[in-house]
Structures are given as C-alpha cells and as structure tokens.
Chain A
Amino acid sequence: MGQIEWAMWANEQALASGLILITGGIVATAGRFVQWYFGAYSIAAGVFICLLEYPRGKRRKGSTMERCGQKYMTAVVKLFGPLTRNYYIRAVLHLLLSVPAGFLLATILGTVCLVIASAIYLLAAIRGEQWTPIEQKPKERPQVGGTIKQPPTNPPPRPPAEVRKKPSEGEEAGAAAGGPQINPIPVTDEVV
C-alpha cells in the first residue's frame, strides 16, 4: 500500500461520521428522545466536522481532485494554521468530539465511526502526513504582444531563426545580422 496517504481515507471516514452524527442527532432531537440534548450536541458537532473535513488536503504526489466548491472552506480552514494542519491535533479533536455522542443510542454509530477516523488520522500523523490546502493557481493573464518586441525590419524571404544572429542582452530582437537582406535574384515591383 505504498501510495496510500492514510489521511485520504481518514478524511472520507470523518466526513461520513459527521453526516451520521447529524442524522442521528436530528432523529433524537425531532423525536424528543430521552436525553435528546445529546442529539442537539450531535448535530452541532456533525456540522462542525463536516465543515472541517470538507476541503480535501493536497496529496504529496500527484494531483488532487477538489470537492465541489471547497475553495471557500479551504480559506477558512487555512486560517487556523497548525491547528488544522497537524493531524495529531485532528485525531485528538475527533476523539474528544465523539465522546458526548456516545451516550445516546441514536448517535452511537457516529461515535464509533468518528473514533475510527481519529485512529486513522493518528496513523497518518505518525507517518508524517499533514494537511496542505489546495491553492488556486493565479490565472496568468496572457500578455498580449509580450513576445512581439519589434516587427521584422527586413522584407521576406527571411532566413530562419537559427541563421539570424542570437540577440545579446539588451539588443533588439529584430536587428538582422549584417544589415538588410540582399536578395540573390533581383526583385521588381510589378505594380504599374
């Protein structure tokens, strides 16, 4: 399993746990189960976890598929710096978040899933992985006319680029070697 970055699986698992916590929490709160306040906590914790885990981290090797619309959350998650970058902290955070939900049957599945996600994050942290945001590459505006420095000074037929003298720094690129082109066959202008 050389290529696997455990954080990828931990991320999927934590996101799933968040969704399960939200579902279990809604069921417990809407049904006004006994100790339903744990359900309310579960919804809040689930939403927080989903928001935290939604932006995918950048893989060390290769390109990463972004989740749809994740750039907004990436900006927020990036703000917390080492708190969100470090996977040890995430592992501990998930472990702590999962504990209160364990008191209610409706959310206990979310607890167990989150504990597993926490364990996988711990494994990822031990292997030295960390969360790096996927940066948007700034769009390079195509510089119109950037490569055109000077129009050619000599009329066609023009010799190919290799034959033209290579311009040294500072010189105009259009300066031909040895002055204007001398045509081997006399060219007459046929316009009367």
Chain B
Amino acid sequence: MMVCWVLNESVSVMVVLSWLAANFYLFIDTFCWYEQEESFFYTRVILGSTLAWARASAVCLNFNCMLILLPVSRNLISFVKGTSTCCRGPWRRQLDKNLKFHKLVAYGVLIHATIHTVAHLFNLERYHLSHVEGTEGLPAALSKLGSMPNESYLNPIRTFHVTVTTESLTTIAGVTGLVISLALILIVTSSTELIRQASYELFWYTHHIFIIFFIGLAIHGTGQIIRGQTPESLSVHNVTFCKDHYAEWQESSLCPVPQFSGKEPSAWKWVLGPVVLYALERIIRLWRFQQEVVVTKVISHPSSVLELRMKKRDFRMAPGQYILIQCPSISPLEWHPFTLTSAPQEDFFSVHIRAAGDWTRALLKAFGAEGQTLKDPCSLPRIAVDGPFGSSLTDVSHYPVSVCIAAGIGVTPFASLLKSMWFKCCESQSLPELNKVYLYWICRDARAFEWFADLLLSLETQMSERGKAHLLSYHIFLTGWNENQAIHIALHWDENTDVITGLKHKTFFGRPNWKDEFKQIAYNHPSSSIGVFCCGPKALSKTLQKMCRVYSSADPRGVRFYYNRENF
C-alpha cells in the first residue's frame, strides 16, 4: 500500500487544482478550435471572437453541470467509500468534503454561464447589425444567404426590422436560456448561508428547481442556431479563395454557394450519466423510505433530548456513522441527519435528537416527549431511515492513537464509538490497532448530556474491572457555570469522584489549553500517527487544525497529527 506522506490539506488542493486545470484545458482547447476551424470561417466573419467565447464557455458549462450532481449522490459516495482500498486515509477524508466541492462547481457554473450569456448577447447583436441597410461586403452577403430556395442560411436573424429581444425569445435557445438562467439565480439566492440557516426548507424546496435547469439545458441546443459550413460544401467551396469573390458565388462554378448546417446539441450527452445516477440515488432514497422501521423504545432525556431506538432489516452500521430520518407526518420531503449513538454490537440502532428547530420540536411532540402521558405504540408516527452514511469517524480505530474532541451536541458520534469499544472490551478482544483514545468534551451545560455521562460512568467501571483503564482517557470541560455551582464545586474539591458527573476524572472548568494538551500527547506518543477528530464549531476546528500542523514533527518518523472534521 502506498504510504501517503502528504499533509492534511494537500489532497483538497490537488482536487481543486485538477478541476481548475480541466476547466482551463476545455476552455482553451474549444476556444482555439472555434477560432481556427475552417467550417466556421464564415460564421466568424460576422461574429468575430465572441463565437469562440460562447462555445468554449458552453463546453465548460457542460463539464461542470456533469460534475455538479455527483457530490450530492450520497449513496454513490458511500458505495465508493466502502469499496475503495487505495490510499485509504486521505482519499476517504476527501469524500467528506463533497458539499464544498458541489459549491465550488456551482460557482464554476455561474461564471461560465455569465461568460456564455454575455458572448451570445454580442453574437445576437452582431447578427442583427449585419442586416443594417448600407452594409456592404462579405457579412452582408453572408447574411442574405438563405433567402433563395436551395440555400441554407447562416444568419438566424433574417431582417433588420425586428428587435433582438423578440427574435431570441421566439427561439428555443432564447427561451430556454432565459429560463435556465432564472432557475440558476433562484437556486443561488436561496442557497446563501443565511437562508440555509434561517429556513432549511426554503433552501431545499427551491433547490429542486434544478430539475427545470437540467431539462432546459438538454433542450437548449436543439434549435441548432450556431451554424457552420457543411463538410460537403467545404469540399467544393474553397474558403480562402472564395471569400474575396462573394459577388460571384451565384454564377461561378468555382465558388458555389456555401451551405450551412447547425451543430448537434451535445449537452445531453454530458449530463445524461450523472442525471441517471442521481435519479437512481433518489429512487434508492425512496426505496429506503418504504422500508419498515420499527421503533422499539422511546426515551425522553432531560433538556429536551429524545432517544429513539429502532430496528430495520439488514441494517448494518459502523461507529461514527449517521442516518437521515424522515417523518412523513411532520414533513413529507425533509430528511434530517442524526449521528448514530448505538454500537454495531447492539441489536437496535439509536439516535439522540435534541429539540433545536421546527422539525425536531415537532418530532419530540409527536413522540410524546413533552407531555406526561405515555403514548400508545400504535399511535407513534411512522419513521423512514436512509443510511447509514459513512463519515470520517469510522477511521478512529485505524489510528494507533486517537484524539476525539467534541463540543456540546458534537459528542454524539463519539458515543457510538465508545460503546463499541466497551462491547469489544466485554468480549475480551483487544482492539487491533488502537492503543489509546483521548476524549475531550467541552460543553456549556452538562445537564443536557446526562445520558452521555451515564455512558462514561459505565465505561469507566467496565474498563477498570478488565484492567484496561489506560485505554480511554477523557477530559470534560465545563464552560458555563453560575456562582452557586462554583461554590458547590469548591467545597467538594477534595472528594474522589467528580461532583458534577460522578466520574473519577475530574471536570475541568473553562476551555482547554490546546497547546499544553497537544504537547503532552505528542510527548506521550513520540513516533505515532495520531488521528484528531473534531465535532464542533468552526472556530474550534480552525484552532485544532493549527495545533495539528504545529505539533506534527518535521521528522517523518516522528509524531504526526492527522486532522479530520465532521460536517453537518
């Protein structure tokens, strides 16, 4: 297996550079072709370079529209992740950045669409102007072609006495062009971060305008109004000679009238594959939706946290994965992601859902979490589950040492991991590669995650019973407290167990000093690969990335920190 001595960021950089290189190559190659191709000589006489600009950006648009559906086909990505064995570390992390790539390609589509539209605006204007009374010369002669019965036209605009607006809006290309540009703008304005955070539903529903976008894109070129000389005509009509003898085209046999034909539409060839794949993806989601999910237990935890334990046929998971849940009675189109908090060894799978928005609050209400009355099992709403989808946490057990850092609700992925470790401990198997796990949990209010503290307590007792207490080292940081709590803590400082959590490890107060922590870890494990996993806010993520860079030693045999991030 190839050993990938690469820095964490360089794989992303490589992907972006390859994408840019492909765009540039396609653009420049197509541009040069249209500038030099003989069959488009006469078209260039009227239009100039803007023909090449329009066609080059069109090819890049085809390329980007082909790519844009792939990063959001999550089942496809899961499949690729599952089967790929090459260079596991960096490439598996790369697939988690699919959303970023989707946005990058979207920006590419925007830029090329702008270039394409502007170039065609110039093209239409030039086609129109070549009919102005008083124009002499080759452009005028070319524009007149097509009026006679056995001539094919070059200029799609036939007279001067029309407006460019009406002319274009009566062609397929013009109408579809306007429609797909509009679709693109609406998708972009409803996808800004502000709107996504304020109302995910608006973003999600409006994004489905992409269906109109792709249909419009496929039929955009069917009018075939970009015309070049036919090969048969080229063989009998020598352009270099005949361009100066346009007055004699009708009579002379040396230069018969040139014939033109439109270019076949090619957009559908580019996008057909990804559209089919994405359609399959949606069908898979629908099929998963149809599969029966049985809710075996509903537990209501303090601070508006609901635990749902479910069973589904053929459901297999790994620690750290997440599922998408849909509740048709609340909203028929929304799928929301939740990390699995159960271990693969358990015979059910569970998620912990906190009431944080419209949908989650409605879910808690539907499952009777808010009232005191117990709900009849038959009256519980139906749930559909898609997944599980891999995320970088499944890599935790591949590193000899792992550092897991969670902020608040971000501790849920690690819950699954720790439970899995607990089961493995119970079965007295030694975990193959994993030597040590450090868990840092930073939260403002420990009460919201009492369920997790219980888990840690049982883990603590289990591990010390088996003599494996050294395997897990966890540090809890409480960043919010009031004065009464502070007094209580100070009074009970000397006791054996921690006063807040009841655990042997004491709770720290305030935020961790990452420099000290990383220094200590690097000192304890001098020549290991250490995976750092973070599930928390961006600021924390940035700090940790920096720490990983700073404390990785320059010596290839020394300690190296590899950073992974969750994104939701």
Contacts and interface: CB of A to CB of B under 8 A. Distances in A.
A37 B84 CA distance: 59
B248 interface: no
A13 B165 contact: no
B358 A2 contact: yes
Interface stretch (A26-34, A78-86, A137-145): A26-34
Contacts of A48: none
Contacts of B164: 33-34, 105
Nearest to A15: B189
A105 B168 contact: yes
A132 to B, nearest CB: 16
B186 interface: yes
Contacts of A34: 125, 128-129, 163-164
For chain B, the bracket of interface size reads 20 to 34
Given A3-B358, A12-B192, A108-B178, A27 B118 contact: yes
A109 interface: yes
Contacts of B358: 2-3
A109 B174 CA distance: 11
Interface string B162-187: 01110011000000001001100110
Contact of B165 (A4, A8, A59, A105): A105
B230 interface: no
Nearest to B205: A1
A43 interface: no
B118 A103 contact: no
Contacts, number: 77
B477 to A, nearest CB: 25
Contact of B178 (A5, A12, A27, A109): A109
Contacts of B70: none
Interface string B111-152: 000100110011011001100000000000000000000000
B539 to A, nearest CB: 15
A31 B125 CA distance: 9
A109 B192 CA distance: 20
Given A34-B164, A109-B182, A4 B125 contact: no
A75 to B, nearest CB: 22
Contacts of A3: 198-199, 357-358
A9 B185 contact: no
Given A4-B202, A34-B125, A16 B194 contact: no
A161 to B, nearest CB: 12
A178 to B, nearest CB: 26
B122 A31 contact: yes
Nearest to A56: B194
For chain A, the bracket of interface size reads 20 to 34
A104 interface: yes
A43 to B, nearest CB: 15
B181 A5 contact: no
Given A3-B198, A65-B194, A112 B125 contact: no
A106 interface: yes
A34 B122 CA distance: 11
B72 to A, nearest CB: 22
Contact of B198 (A8, A16, A116): A8
A154 B178 CA distance: 83
Contacts of A103: 165
B195 interface: yes
Interface in B174-233: 178, 181-182, 185-186, 188-190, 192, 194-195, 198-199, 201-202
Given A2-B358, A31-B122, A13 B189 contact: yes
Contacts of A8: 194-195, 198
Nearest to A24: B121
A1 B121 contact: no
Contacts of B189: 9, 12-13, 16
A9 B195 contact: yes
B42 to A, nearest CB: 22
Contacts of B118: 23, 27
B190 A9 contact: yes
A91 interface: no
A109 B188 CA distance: 15
Interface in A55-112: 59, 65, 103-106, 108-109, 112
A27 B198 contact: no
A40 interface: no
A17 to B, nearest CB: 8
A112 B177 CA distance: 13
Nearest to A61: B198
A4 B199 contact: yes
B195 A106 contact: no
A94 to B, nearest CB: 14
Contacts of A112: 178, 182
A20 interface: yes
Nearest to A35: B163
8 contacts: A1-B201, A3-B357, A5-B198, A9-B202, A12-B192, A33-B164, A34-B129, A65-B194
Interface of B: 114, 117-118, 121-122, 124-125, 128-129, 163-165, 168-169, 178, 181-182, 185-186, 188-190, 192, 194-195, 198-199, 201-202, 357-358
Given A12-B190, A27-B118, A65-B194, 6 more contacts: A3-B198, A12-B194, A31-B122, A34-B164, A104-B165, A112-B182
